[in-house]
Amino acid sequence: MNILDIIAKKRDNQKLNKQEIEYFIKEYTLGNITDYQAAALVMAIYINGMDFEEITHLTIAMAESGDKVDLSSIGKCVVDKHSTGGVGDKITIILSPIIAAIGIPVAKMSGRGLGYTGGTADKLESIPGYKVEIDEKEFINNVKEIGISLITQTKSIAPADKKIYALRDSINCVDSMPLIASSIMSKKIASGADKIVLDVTVGNGAFMKNKEDATELSKIMIEIGKRSSKETICILTNMDEPLGNTVGNTLEVIEAIQFLKGEMSDDIKDIILEIGSYMLKLSGKYEDLEEGKKIILETLNNGKAFEKFVELVKKQGGDITNIYNTEKFKKAKYILPVFAQANGYISKIPAEEIGKISCFLGAGRMKKDDTIDYSVGITLNEKVGNLVQKGDVIGYIHSNDREKGIKAVEKMSKIIEISKDKIEKNNTIISVLL
Ligand code: URA
């Protein structure tokens, strides 16, 4: 077998067999296939797709490219949550301590930013001292001791995905159904959770732009979950506009802390309650979804979720004085207002464009080795459907470079659309697939 034949086969839109897929994953992980050969194959997969059988082989080969985490010593059912990617998505940071405070263990490995979407691991690293790279032993010990650990994938978890993920990012091949399904499910299979709730984002800022594609992706991931004995539920959520009111690492962590302290925006609250109640149901602790939602709200309102977050940050080496007093986080040098350009209803805050502006300011990586500027990003004062007057401040650009900040303000002013007609607010939860 050789990689040139495999590339040619997929280039010519033929189906790859199990051995060919396993060969590619094994040899690429070992470094025996070059990045440019892998890029050619990934591009061919992006263009010609894969059928369900190929996707399953790819997922399993990627899951088996490294170690598998054994969470059985935790002694309880571990339910994981993962998002297909979005802009302003701080759900994991908020939901994980809620679930842990309810008594369900959270052993979660999160990714870094991909394309214009942010990554939970990068966001957590914006908390001074917080270590996302700890070894598996410490990870499991933390879960046993305080019921929660949030880290990034250890090097030995699905290393093939790590390489392919970075490659896809650098050749603009992220938004591909077989590549997303195999990337997510290989990590979930390798990282040891018993059951999985997937937040499948849909819309302008998501990799799946419409409900039909998101539904197809969900069905593939649910079926892979079934075949791997990991019950999987997909919740389709709206990603036409950014989630909540901030985009950018530190800004999002501050918003998450404020949420945990009771300042809850409607769209984030909808998602927390929906995904959270399904996690509680899968754990077997609260079968009834409405009861689960009630418990989640109680855990937020009585401060237990916030306390659990403080405990988590402390355990992972973070400076908790920043959590108690968010003024301590390093701020960007320039905080520049963005003004409404007309009277009317906000009709569009395009999440993808906002994500790209945030990356342009330095909140994401253009190349895989770029360093992130945690303090930069965007604050949004308004949501789609809100009524504004020309000249109102509808948001802020946070930048450490004045020229870049001014350019970002110009871009933001152009892409936020305002309509004379009344506009309905976006529906946050689109559907649930079991
Ligand atoms: N999240 C992942 O882990 N992988 C993808 O491909 C997209 C989102």
How does pLDDT run across 365-419, given as a tens digit for each residue?
Answer: 777 678 899 999 999 999 999 999 999 999 999 999 999 999 999 999 999 999 9
How does pLDDT run across 261-318, given as a tens digit for each residue?
Answer: 999 999 999 999 999 999 999 999 999 999 999 999 999 999 999 999 999 999 999 9
What backbone torsions phi and psi does residue 69 show, to the nearest 5 degrees?
A: -80, 135
For ligand 1, say whether the CB of 84 is within 6 Å of any of its atoms.
yes
How would DSSP label each residue in 338-370? EE-SSSEEEEE--HHHHHHHHHHHTSS-SSTTP
For ligand 1, say whether the CB of 111 is within 6 Å of any of its atoms.
yes
Percent of the chain exceeding pLDDT 90 equals 88
- Count Cβ neighbours within 10 Å for each residue of 154-165 and write b for 16 or more, e otherwise: beebbbbbbbbb
For ligand 1, say whether the CB of 206 is within 6 Å of any of its atoms.
no
CA distance 97 to 104: 10
CATH of 3-49, one of 1.10.540.10, 1.20.970.10, 3.40.50.2000, 2.60.40.10: 1.20.970.10
Q: Which of 161, 162, 184, 198 to mutate to test the pocket of ligand 1 (most atoms within 8 A of CB)?
A: 184
Q: Which of 114, 116, 220, 234 to mutate to test the pocket of ligand 1 (most atoms within 8 A of CB)?
A: 114
Q: Which of 176, 180, 202 to mutate to test the pocket of ligand 1 (most atoms within 8 A of CB)?
A: 180
Residues 6 or more apart in contact with residue 47 via CB below 8 angstroms: none
Mean pLDDT computed over every residue of the chain: 95
Q: Catalytic residue positions?
A: 82, 161, 168, 183, 187
CA distance 205 to 87: 6
Q: What distance in angstroms lies between residue 84's CA and the mean position of ligand 1's atoms?
A: 5
Percent of the chain exceeding pLDDT 70 equals 100
Confidence (pTM): 0.92
115 pLDDT tier (thresholds 50, 70, 90): confident
* Residue 174 Cα: closest atom of ligand 1: 6
For ligand 1, say whether the CB of 183 is within 6 Å of any of its atoms.
yes
Q: Where are the domains of the chain?
A: 3-49, 72-155+162-324, 331-419
For ligand 1, say whether the CB of 115 is within 6 Å of any of its atoms.
no
Residue nearest to atom 5 of ligand 1 (CA): 180
- Coil/strand/helix, residue 434: coil
Residue nearest to atom 1 of ligand 1 (CA): 84
- Coil/strand/helix, residue 30: helix
How does pLDDT run across 336-368, given as a tens digit for each residue?
Answer: 999 999 999 999 999 999 999 999 999 997 776
For ligand 1, say whether the CB of 184 is within 6 Å of any of its atoms.
yes
Q: What distance in angstroms lies between residue 276's CA and the mean position of ligand 1's atoms?
A: 20
> Which tokens belong to 86?
């979005």
Residue nearest to atom 8 of ligand 1 (CA): 84
For ligand 1, say whether the CB of 178 is within 6 Å of any of its atoms.
no
CATH of domain 72-155+162-324: 3.40.1030.10
pLDDT above 90 (res 118): no
Q: Which of 157, 174, 191, 237 to mutate to test the pocket of ligand 1 (most atoms within 8 A of CB)?
A: 174
* Residue 85 Cα: closest atom of ligand 1: 8
Cα dihedral: 168, 170, 174, 180 (round 10) = 30
Question: pLDDT at position 368, please?
Answer: 66
* Residue 84 Cα: closest atom of ligand 1: 8
So what's the architecture of 331-419 in CATH? Alpha-Beta Complex (3.90)
One fold for 3-49 and 72-155+162-324:
no
Q: What distance in angstroms lies between residue 82's CA and the mean position of ligand 1's atoms?
A: 9
Burial of 30 (0-12, 13-18, 19+ CB in 10 A): exposed
Q: What distance in angstroms lies between residue 100's CA and the mean position of ligand 1's atoms?
A: 24
Q: Do residues 276 and 290 touch, judged by C-beta distance below 8 A?
A: no
For ligand 1, say whether the CB of 180 is within 6 Å of any of its atoms.
yes
What is the average per-residue pLDDT within 163-187? Answer: 92
Describe the crossing of helices 211-227 and 52-63 by its angle, rounded to 10 degrees.
Answer: 60
For ligand 1, say whether the CB of 92 is within 6 Å of any of its atoms.
no
CA distance 77 to 383: 38
